[in-house]
Amino acid sequence: MKMTEIGVNMAGDPVYNVYNDDGTLFKTTIYTKDEAQALVVGNVNDVDIIEGTSVPAYQGMKKLELEALMREHGIELDRRKSRADLLAEVDAFFKG
pLDDT digits (tens, 9 = 90+) for 4-61: 888 887 778 888 888 888 888 887 678 888 887 877 777 555 544 444 445 677 888 8
Task: Give the closest residue to 9 by CA, choosing from 96, 92, 87, 93.
Answer: 87
What length does the chain have? 96
Spatial contact of 35 and 49, defined as CB atoms under 8 Å apart: yes
- Rounded to 5°, angle at Cα 21 from 7 and 61: 25
Q: DSSP label at 23?
A: S
Residue 63 has pLDDT above 60, yes or no: yes
Number of CB atoms found within 10 A of residue 61's CB = 21
Domain extents in the chain: 1-57, 58-96
What φ, ψ does residue 86 adopt, rounded to 5°?
-65, -40
- The structure's pTM equals 0.46
